[in-house]
Amino acid sequence: MDILNALVALLNFVIIPASSYGAQLALGALGVTLIYGILRFSNFAHGDTMAFGTGVTILGTWGLQAMGVSIAPLPTALLALPFGIAVTALLVLGTDRAVYRFYRKKKSDPVILVMVSVGVMFIMNGITRFVIGVDEIQFDDGERFLISAKAFKEATGLAEGLSLRSTQVITVVTAVLVVWALFWFLNSTRTGKSMRAFSDNEDLALLSGINPERVVAVTWIIAAGLATIAGTLYGLDKSFKAFNYFQLLLPIFAAAIVGGLGNPLGAIAGGFIIAFSEVSVTYAFKKVAGYLGPEGWQPDSMLQLLGTEYKFAVSFAILIIVLLFKPTGLFKGKSV
Amino acid sequence: MIRVENLHKHFGGFRAVDGASLEIATGSITGLIGPNGAGKSTLFNVIAGVLKPTSGRVTMAGEDITGLAPHELFHKGLLRTFQIAHEFSSMTVRENLMMVPAGQSGETLWNAFFNRRKIRDEEQALLRKADEVLDFLTISHLRDERAGNLSGGQKKLLELGRTMMVDAKIVFLDEVGAGVNRTLLNTIGDAIVRLNRERGYTFCVIEHDMDFIGRLCDPVIVMAEGKVLAEGPAAHIMENEAVIEAYLGTGLKNKVKAGGAA
Amino acid sequence: MTQRNILMFAAVLGLVLFEGFTGGWNTALGILNMGLISAVLALGVNMQWGYAGLFNTGIVGFVALGGLAPVLIALPPTPGAFNAGGLGLILAFAVAAGAVALAVVINRRARGAVRLLALPVVMVAGFFAYRALFDPAVAAIEAINPSAAGNIGGLGLPILLAWPVGALFAAGAAWVIGKTALGLRSDYLAIATLGIGEIIVAVLKNEDWLARGVKNVNAIPRPVPYEVDLQSSPAFVERAASFGLDPVTASTIAVKLAYTGLFLAVLLALVWLSERALKSPWGRMMRAIRDNETAAAAMGKNVTRRHLQIFIIGSAVCGLAGAMLITLDGQMTPGSYNPLRFTFLVWVMVIVGGSGNNWGAVLGGMLIWYLWIKVEPWGHGLMGLITAGMADGSAIKAHLLESAAHMRLMTMGVILLLVLRFAPKGLLPEK
Amino acid sequence: EEIKLGISLGFTGPLETMAGPMALGAELAMKEVSDSGLLLDGSTIVPVRSDSTCVDSAAATAGVERLITTEKVKAIVGGMCSGEATASLQNVAMPNGIVMISPSATSPALSSLEDNGLFFRTSPSDARQGEVMADIILEKGIKSVAVTYTNNDYGKGLADSFEAAFKAKGGTVTVNAAHDDGKADYSAEVGALAAAGGDALVVAGYVDQGGSGIVRGAIDSGAFETFVFPDGMVGSALVEKFGAEIDGSFGQNPASGDEGRDIFLKLAEAAGFDGTSAYSAEAYDAAALMMLAMQAAGTSDAAVWKDKVMDVANAPGEKIQPGELAKALEIIKAGGDVDYVGGAAVELIGSGESAGSFREVAIEGGELKVIGYR
Amino acid sequence: MSFLDASGMTGGYGAADILHGCTLKVEKGQIAVIVGPNGAGKSTAMKAVFGMLRLRGGHVKLDGEDITALSPQERVAKGMGFVPQTHNVFPSMSVEENLEIGAFLRRDDFRPTIDMVYDLFPILRQKRRQPAGELSGGQRQQVAVGRALMTQPKLLMLDEPTAGVSPIVMDELFDRIIEVARTGISILMVEQNARQALEIADMGYVLVQGANRYTDTGAALMADPDVRRTFLGG
Ligand SMILES: Nc1ncnc2c1ncn2[C@@H]1O[C@H](COP(=O)(O)OP(=O)(O)OP(=O)(O)O)[C@@H](O)[C@H]1O
Ligand SMILES: Nc1ncnc2c1ncn2[C@@H]1O[C@H](COP(=O)(O)OP(=O)(O)OP(=O)(O)O)[C@@H](O)[C@H]1O
Ligand SMILES: CC(C)C[C@H](N)C(=O)O
Ligand SMILES: [Mg+2]
Ligand SMILES: [Mg+2]
């Protein structure tokens, strides 16, 4: 029996990675859920908005680095975030003006807006690659580890290492803060309430003196901010590659849906559910069982419920099961 | 015809219907009145299978129909209208009516593909029937209009029109009168009486217009806070102290005079 | 068909003809053939969305299942595979089905503690019994000549038989999925079906015994002759020469035309049936259900059953298209089933064409496929134009030319937005 | 005559970063020949690109269809990934009798494909790489490894052939698990691999795809310290990303140890692109072989010159290095024989695939060091 | 000069006109009631006054100022309040939030007004935390009227405010409307409970097929047997 090592192994390979991945998904899902909640359509361009925002932030980071500005041990990119957010906000506001507004005025079906967002996705996709290219970019320049596996082993003398990256901690903390802020904003501020009113009944909002264009603009600006933050934190933790942000879209949507569309708390819950189901259901418990079993014993099989090639399938299966019991997600989301 | 026994419907902790028991006699036009939020529509929705009761039983002609799905109830001859009109908005007014009758042979794919003649004959009959109903409701000029474009009152008429497309045993009307012009409402009242007398429909009517209730309904059931408060002939009910206090009030005229408005 | 329909179709046909005259008939027919398959796909999706309002984004899964049929039907059997593991597989599936059935019965009949206890016992025991039978059978099959086979093999039947079978596969899956997931609405149904699509593709990619997984299956038999055979047939060469064609061109065109004929026949039959269905009381009922489920149910329509029916039919059509696609490709590559291409592009087809309108779906299918193929050279051309004036060797020019490939998706996006701007309800709106 | 040659590679999609240098490699050879003015009485070569996407067979096929029937190309450098390459070969190139030479499709299945003598590749089958990799690992004294592969025909084929070879030679594979490319997170895979254990991790993936994701996760969590990198991973991107973090790791990729490679790298540098990028040299060679075969046959008709490809690629004859295409054309014109070596030590065996010489590399001090060739 | 003067309004939703030269006027602090058969264009006329419909003819003046070209939003700012016939609450927001949104443009303290609404419709105080979408039909109608009252408009427009509310609440409501009018606010409402409504009306309009059929004081219309029979249900 070696409970300590078992615990560390579990922490290192399941709990910590799943938490930070969950927070990354949650941040992305927040943007999707916000757009859905207020503007009532699933925005397929969100993944590419994240990519664009991150791309701009990277440009800003390079600029800052060239000027010798740094906030070590934190990554410089955090300092460049406002710049990234501002540019991204301009882009999405422009997109709204040029594209979405027309369909909003026409009161088109949500599905039309979804397809339109697919078109926007293609275009943003092109713009991002055009501006910053297709290559992988590493732009994390701060202190990478809070605890590194090696240092942990040396310090504790355990067989298992434990690593904790600073980006992981930043991501989780940011996700929690942002959710709290968004929740507070939507439920307690005048602007937030006007946004919810707009989402409920556009015509009536108009009759109450709410300026729809302002609501829409605020929504897009927040969404741009969320996208840029989410994208940048993800990029810091992994690396930036335009193509990956498109791939991120699927788990992000899954997270937003399983939590209940339109609900910030749902996005957080959904992110963690998807991440934990991916990581834990396919985890091989061989080593952990080995530590927990008698000295020197090792199980023969991997003790793995399902191979990792099915990890996506597993998280979707869990999503479907949740939906069967809660048809509009855990937190009673909206449905158009 | 319909018997409701100790019915409960709770939303979370809130008891919308709280142990209601009542009976709708075959061949009657039963009125159901009560203050806003008394649980009338909820009771309707439970009977009509839209909501599952928390507890209690509903029987129709002795047969337990608790929890049956709406479409099954339709086939048993139970029809209903909605308080907030549920038209098929992208279909024309006439199509809204023509889709109602059950067992249309054109509703199976096989017939739709290969049995066009039979369908054509049936459709002709349906078309005539629908036009009759539209004439009756004074909206035949709108037969080819998208139902979504109707005025509030017209939608209510369409709701009613759907129940006239088939031979029902019992029809539940949830505030057909709200938003309908009073002159037309009188005509509708006449039609309800005629359907009741000539075709033997049983009606259960929710309505806040006491003229209408008084003219049509016997008996009248009063609900309040999820329970049955009183039951009896309309004239009696309108004298009932409890009913006056909870629901009817002391009448507008006195107040207008007292207030001395123009 | 209204005048607008005819005009629109004439326009798309014109595009194909134009391609034929400027780019060669092979390219034109190639685009046309894939366009026809896309049209079938779009028709299937339109049934689910346009008729009944079901937001299915698991299309890629049904297409993939349909694609499995040609492999299992038309491929020659793998010698020894069935003896090695066939029985084990059948037994394993029987055990699994039995366990599921038992679980369902327990779930319905038993109550309280019995249910709480028996259900997991049955499911866990069932799972292990299944794995105990399944794993060795699979191992035995996959051990047979893994670099060229390693799968259970096909039945060696004519490939055209695989088309209805592909539809059946998809329909079967749709039945199971519909029974469980159709209670969901709008985007929730969408993401659930998206997940199911991913799961189906994951199974196809990883279960090598079934269709070789990511190792792909090549050389699937064809319903039409091989070009090379035609080229070596003197009779054909002579005929070609009498048209003034060289044998290579003639053979490739002849083969493509044969496919065109087959696909067109399927498409027209489907359109005919769909039009009849949509313009009948059945179609009216479906539209009513789409408009307002609550009211339709109150009017005696069995919404659940109808949803299931249309979900199965639409999925079957997607499966049929999947089988046709694999037949045309002659190979099965599960890795290529990605949702962007097989789900969202199809959705774009339906919406651009005009949802709820059969002809619209067909038009959208053909047009969007044409664009999907053509935007690539257009993207390059556009960049060529832009950079034409710039100095050779300038960094900007190099960067722009480098980016030309990405113009492909961008051009697609621009066109999509333009179409939806000028025809916000699709090119051929429902009414 | 103006001869068009098609280039069908995955310019968009999961391998979009690799495709650029490959195309530039092929175009470099074409330009060299055009500039020499020696091909078939002064013919010039015009490259035409088409996007194969690497994953969408239908799009790849349509692109190749366009190249052949609209652009009337005489041969195609491509496809890039095995699946898509097979599709366009069987559906378009073969019916039209057009030659395809793929620089990078390495699936073992392609060796036995019926191709009417129209398909060649300048890279070796992965069956061979599996053997070589097993040898290298065992020589380092490592007996037990975990394997992760990218879930496609390339990854699976390579992983399987490696596992077979490694076991046959006495090693143990603790786990042989797939990873899908383009996923947002690889914690689950890393967790499973770590649980299985092993002295090293074999990463049969792509360097700008999931492969790197796995390596990143494994380093960060301390799951593995030594990695083995086959061709999809060996590239400048690898050390750019991980640097000294993967010191002590090693690998191999198809590449010649001859001077040819260095010459090619210089040519690439002069032309302004990264020649070390995977399969860039192979793409140069693929294009070169086509043009030399045309010259040898005296025609651009694929039906004729397809039989000359093996001749110009193999001995006997004068060895031809990158940048010496003009010289080769002249020799052939004069009736001489050439043995094309090129940037990737081309030696075609069997039905026309590279015999495969492999370059053994190791990471030392954050740099990719060439250890030797085998 | 009437406070609201909408004269000769002509227009509709599509190609065909629904309104044919319809005229509606309300004096300051008075109550005007529109009655008429279903589909006569009453709601359409209300929308036209509020600028939610493009007019092909006629003009709308508020307090002497021509507002024909203003957007609905700008009209709200000018002091117009409107309760539509349907879709008149924010279903996912709580009752209290619905009322708060009603006061969106107000900068003063609106707590007293909320209390006033709660006193008027006591049931709403009980249900203040409940989403409006979960209310009964009549309760919703009360929320809708309450929301409009929150705006403290100079002109209050109500499209069938009493549809679906119980008699006792209807009495309360009409009572309150009188009170509101007395504070100098003008009221324009459509009613099918026409007899009750006309009793409190200063002015009555009978609309048929988009045009004014009868226009008179409420009492006079009530007294006209023709009007009674054809439009008020006898
Ligand atoms: N989904 C729900 N969740 C919570 N409470 C609900 C829900 N539906 C109805 N209620 C509550 O149940 C009570 C009864 O509502 P119901 O619609 O049955 O009233 P009603 O008698 O029809 O009133 P009205 O005359 O106004 O139509 C109301 O107080 C309402 O707020
Ligand atoms: N959105 C719309 N598009 C087209 N026509 C419409 C639309 N809304 C209403 N109509 C038509 O305009 C006419 C007048 O409608 P309106 O709603 O103004 O009637 P109303 O007098 O308010 O009737 P009710 O008393 O039934 O509410 C009706 O014939 C209706 O069919
Ligand atoms: C570009 C290469 C890494 C492609 C890989 N060798 C394949 O066959 O798919
Ligand atoms: Mg009610
Ligand atoms: Mg109205």
Q: What is the CATH number of the domain that holds C243?
A: 1.10.3470
Cα–chain center distance at E73? 17
Asked whether residue C162 falls in the same domain as residue C254, the answer is yes
Amino acid, single-letter form, for residue C414: V
Q: What is the pLDDT of residue D82?
A: 85
Residue C428 lies in a domain: no
Q: Mean pLDDT across the stretch E84-94?
A: 91
Q: What is the pLDDT of residue B255?
A: 39
Asked whether residue C137 falls in the same domain as residue C201, the answer is no
User: What value does the mean pLDDT of chain B take?
Assistant: 88
Residue ranges making up the domain that contains C102: 77-152
**Domains of chain B, start order:** 2-87+166-259 (3.40.50.300), 90-149 (no CATH)
Encoding tokens for residue A69?
Answer: 């500005």
Residue C241 lies in a domain: yes
Q: CB distance B36–E169 less than 8 Å?
A: yes
Residue E18 lies in a domain: yes
User: What value does the mean pLDDT of chain E take?
Assistant: 91
Q: Which residues of chain D have pLDDT under 70?
A: 14, 257
Asked whether residue C333 falls in the same domain as residue C398, the answer is yes
Each residue of C388-405: pLDDT tens digit?
Answer: 777 776 777 777 777 777
Residue E15 lies in a domain: yes
Phi/psi at D254 (nearest 5 deg)?
Answer: -65, 120
Residues in CB range of C357: below 8 A, 6 or more apart = C46, C50, C426, C428, C429, C430
Pocket around ligand 2: residues whose beta carbon is below 6 Å from it?
B 142, 145, 149-154, 179; E 13-14, 18, 36, 38-44, 85
Half-sphere exposure of C306 (CA within 13 A, CB side): 25
Peptide bond connecting D79 to the previous residue in cis, omega within 30 degrees of 0: yes
Q: What is the pLDDT of residue A336?
A: 64
Please say which residue of C113, C136, C152 terminates a domain: C152
State whether residue A202 sits within 8 Å of chain E by CB.
Answer: no
Q: CB distance A118–C344 less than 8 Å?
A: yes
Residue C430 lies in a domain: no
Residue C184 lies in a domain: yes
Has residue A201 got a pLDDT over 70? yes
Q: Which is it for strands B63-64 and B227-232: parallel, antiparallel or unpaired?
A: unpaired
Residue E179 lies in a domain: no
pLDDT band at B260 (very low <50, low <70, confident <90, very high): very low
Q: Mean pLDDT across the stretch B154-174?
A: 90
* Of residues D65, D61, D52, the one with CA closest to residue D14: D52
Each residue of A33-68: pLDDT tens digit?
Answer: 999 989 999 999 999 999 999 999 999 999 999 998
Q: What is the pLDDT of residue E11?
A: 92
Asked whether residue E159 falls in the same domain as residue E60, the answer is yes
Q: Model-level pTM?
A: 0.91
Q: Mean pLDDT across the stretch E154-166?
A: 91
Each residue of A28-41: pLDDT tens digit?
Answer: 999 999 999 899 99
| Other CB atoms within 10 A of residue B248 CB | 20
pLDDT band at A310 (very low <50, low <70, confident <90, very high): confident
Residue C431 lies in a domain: no
State whether residue D152 sits within 8 Å of chain C by CB.
Answer: yes
Has residue A93 got a pLDDT over 90? yes
* Of residues A305, B135, C273, the one with CA closest to residue D191: A305
Closest chain E C-alpha to A203 CA, distance in angstroms: 9
- Nearest CB neighbour to E38, from listed B40, B184, B186: B184
Q: What is the pLDDT of residue B252?
A: 45
Asked whether residue C100 falls in the same domain as residue C240, the answer is no
* Of residues D129, D133, D97, the one with CA closest to residue D111: D129
Q: CB distance B86–C285 less than 8 Å?
A: no
Q: What is the pLDDT of residue B254?
A: 40
d(CA D322, CA D333): 18
Asked whether residue C166 falls in the same domain as residue C264, the answer is yes
d(CA B188, CA B210): 15
Asked whether residue C254 falls in the same domain as residue C110, the answer is no
Please say which residue of C94, C118, C152 terminates a domain: C152
Asked whether residue E125 falls in the same domain as residue E222, the answer is no
Q: How many domains does chain C have?
A: 2
Domain positions in chain A are 28-258
Asked whether residue C223 falls in the same domain as residue C271, the answer is yes
Asked whether residue C333 falls in the same domain as residue C199, the answer is yes
Q: How many domains does chain E have?
A: 2
Has residue B98 got a pLDDT over 60? yes
- Nearest CB neighbour to D184, from listed A148, A244, A284: A244
Closest chain C C-alpha to D277 CA, distance in angstroms: 16
ipTM: 0.89
Asked whether residue C292 falls in the same domain as residue C341, the answer is yes
Q: What is the pLDDT of residue B261?
A: 34
Amino acid, single-letter form, for residue A237: D
User: How many residues comprise chain A?
Assistant: 336
Asked whether residue C114 falls in the same domain as residue C169, the answer is no
* CA dist E70 → A307, D98, D173, E50 (Å): 64, 69, 77, 9
Residue ranges making up the domain that contains E29: 1-79+155-164+184-234
User: Which atom belonging to ligand 1 lies closest to the Cα atom of B223?
Assistant: 21
Q: CB distance C331–D57 less than 8 Å?
A: yes
Asked whether residue E1 falls in the same domain as residue E32, the answer is yes
Encoding tokens for residue C419?
Answer: 């179409």
Residue nearest to atom 1 of ligand 2 (CA): B149
Q: Mean pLDDT across the stretch B185-196?
A: 88
B21 close to B5: Cβ distance less than 8 angstroms: yes
Half-sphere exposure of C358 (CA within 13 A, CB side): 19
Residue nearest to atom 4 of ligand 3 (CA): D81
DSSP bridge pairs for D78: D8
Asked whether residue C61 falls in the same domain as residue C180, the answer is yes
Please say which residue of C118, C152, C186 terminates a domain: C152
State whether residue A276 sits within 8 Å of chain D by CB.
Answer: no
pLDDT band at C44 (very low <50, low <70, confident <90, very high): very high
Q: Which of B142, B143, B150 to mutate to test the pocket of ligand 2 (most atoms within 8 A of CB)?
A: B150
Largest CA distance in chain A: 75
Each residue of C221-268: pLDDT tens digit?
Answer: 999 998 888 988 899 999 988 888 888 889 989 999 999 999 999 999
Asked whether residue C141 falls in the same domain as residue C246, the answer is no
Higher pLDDT, A299 or C270: C270
Each residue of E119-145: pLDDT tens digit?
Answer: 888 899 999 999 999 999 889 989 999
Asked whether residue E73 falls in the same domain as residue E189, the answer is yes
B42 close to B16: Cβ distance less than 8 angstroms: yes
Q: Mean pLDDT across the stretch C81-100?
A: 89
Has residue E59 got a pLDDT over 70? yes
Each residue of D145-157: pLDDT tens digit?
Answer: 999 999 888 888 8
Q: CATH number of the domain that E190 lies in?
A: 3.40.50.300
Asked whether residue E20 falls in the same domain as residue E134, the answer is no
User: What value does the mean pLDDT of chain A take?
Assistant: 89
Residue E172 lies in a domain: no
Closest chain B C-alpha to E107 CA, distance in angstroms: 32
**Residues in the 5 Å CB sphere of ion ligand 4:** B 41, 83; E 136-137
Q: What is the pLDDT of residue D149?
A: 94
B33 close to B207: Cβ distance less than 8 angstroms: yes
Helix H or strand E segment including D132: helix D126-139
Radius of gyration of chain C (CA): 25
Residue E177 lies in a domain: no
